[in-house]
Structure 1
Amino acid sequence: MRVLLAATPGGGHVLPMIPVLDAFRAAGHDVALAISDDMVVPGLDEGVRRFRKEPSHFPLCPYPRGARRTAWWGRVNTEMAWASYLGTKRIIEDFSPDLVVRDAAERGAYLAAEVAGVPHVTVLAGSETVLTSYLRREQGITAPLRASLGLPEDPEGSTQVPVMGIVLTHPRFFGHGSALLANSRFYRGDSSLPVRDADSDTGGPSVLVSLGSSLAVPHEEFARRALEGLAGTGVRVTVAVPDRFRARLAREFAGARILGFEDLAPHLDGADVVVSHGGFGTVQAALHRGVPMHITPFGSDQFFNAERITAQGLGVALPWESCTPARLAGSVWDVARGPSFRKAARAFAEDVRRLPGLDACVRDVISLI
């Protein structure tokens, strides 16, 4: 079977697609990835066929929450969806896939698949995308596009996930009674994930500061505050920032370990605490290893993720307005020393390990289409 995976050009959208892509390849299917050429994808096998498409980047929304953010995204997402539709339509004509797998923000890819009559499934890469309210909001964006393409009306947005929504975490993350999509199914993204079963006993706790690639995050200033606050406290700190900030921070903090945009799995495996903006990919990667979190949200579903983390005792959240170096360091230490956080995170990871793997996901998708 020929499988086309399409992703919006943002780390939090692309990276969750890679394990799914690898699972289809391992099952013997012919796969290709449709993504902007501007997007660097850590962990992607160079042998994977890659199609270039627009949009070339994910724009920065100036509003973290509220009505202005909704209005801004309504306009920008419409423009992005149309560009993606045109690009994906050409790729479908070239590659002739039997299935399209797209991340939830890839509206153009789902529309192109529907116009071409190709089955499609969705990787629900952001926590909000798993909730029914997300599809109701999406309907406002896609309705005019559907009409212009001659597609039937979709008042509930249900055709966006007509077969399956693939969720790579445990359903209890969302809380009891959450309105999850009816077609969502839960899988573990990596069957080999280690779970932290012992505390650090040499050199103090290990803290990984992972800030993702979102333009809405003040990467350099956040990293600087963490490094200044934790300096001399006995904490071993590793900081991961977009590549453009790495050299300057490395010069300023010569003794610190500063990483660029790369595969963080080896560093996550040895971390006792992950400090993050709360992107869903980072949240999954930490909690699936049993590592508690310290979150400072800036936009989108990061606020929801922070709420879920704190509600379940998996870590703490500290608003950016309160993130002085001293207060940030003290709050991180609270997580590092708190046995309840470690216990809760390990219990969550054990629940995730009991989920079916992506090999089962591929079989489920094939059986449904």
Structure 2
Amino acid sequence: MTVATTDAALVLEDGRIFRGAAYGARGRTLGEVVFTTGMTGYQETLTDPSYHRQIVVQTAPQIGNTGWNDEDDESDRIRVAGYVVRDPARMPSNWRSTRSLDDALAAQGVVGIAEVDTRTLTRHIREHGAMRAGVFSGDALVTDEAMLEAVRASAPMKGADLAGEVSTAESYVVPARGATRFRVAALDLGIKTNTPRQLAERGVELHVLPSGSTVDDVLAVAPDGVFLSNGPGDPETQTAAIELTRQVLGREIPLFGICFGNQILGRALGLGTYKMRFGHRGINIPVLDATTGRVAITAQNHGFALEGEPGQRFDSPFGKAHVSHHCANDGTVEGLRCSDVPAFSVQYHPEAAAGPHDAAPLFDEFVTLMEARHAQTH
């Protein structure tokens, strides 16, 4: 047996071990190790519910320079299972900072590791794929064999039903800013704070519903539209959300989905999903619009994707549909449009904070869809 001599260790399920210094809380955490390529926005990343049960590696070498503030959270707390960085800031410097990133992680019990060669680690994940891992420090730093055994005994991401673990327990309302133009029912599969904000700015009153809501719960809101949020886990497990989506499509209520919502809509239309090798995570990912040929630089966070080809047209139980967007890097399906019912979705994040904002007009498209439906029915 060998005992680690450093302060902390990141142990991957294939046996690779990265040594480093304890960062944030001390202890043990398990999850799927993934990397994100954003050079800014670490606070938004850490608080994104879609990162639930994932150990996030920052590819940007310097992290924590702007500290932690009370305005930029995308949910009520840090959601990542663990955190891996190379060069943490010794002292934060920003006029909005109220504490250091290290202090924020420690206060919320998030176990991290610093001084890791994140370039080598990222290349390893790209080559071998996202996999189960664990961060160990303090009293939890035991023999390599024991740590590896704990990692290999943890649950995989494929087949994981996680949306209910991050969804709201009770429904709540986010009022429109100014006059209320439309009412939307949002299925919370892991919704980010900036999404209701974006819709509220467009005169939408948002009724956020728990992930287990039924079509009767949705109809009780008397919505002009339905929104499917982002979220964590394997979309194949979301049988209730998929059935709810089918019920909404059958009633021809305008529907808009992002990220996890794109996968839910796709499965409702009859497409399959699969687990990606290492996923798309970052704020610099190019997406091509099949209709206009325009490229948008987007924020993304997903490890599963829809089966399909760029520009593919297909028949669904609700009429014709097509793959409207794809990733310029690898051809991954990045959006769907229905021709015969008022529904569309994208795999990326138009509500993105800390950016980019190329895709923000998609919220306007949703409003336009509701306007057209309202004019048709009235």
For normalisation by structure 1, the TM-score amounts to 0.29
Q: Give the number of the structure whose residues are more often strand, by fraction.
A: 2
Normalized against structure 2, the TM-score is what?
0.29
Q: Which is richer in helix?
A: 1
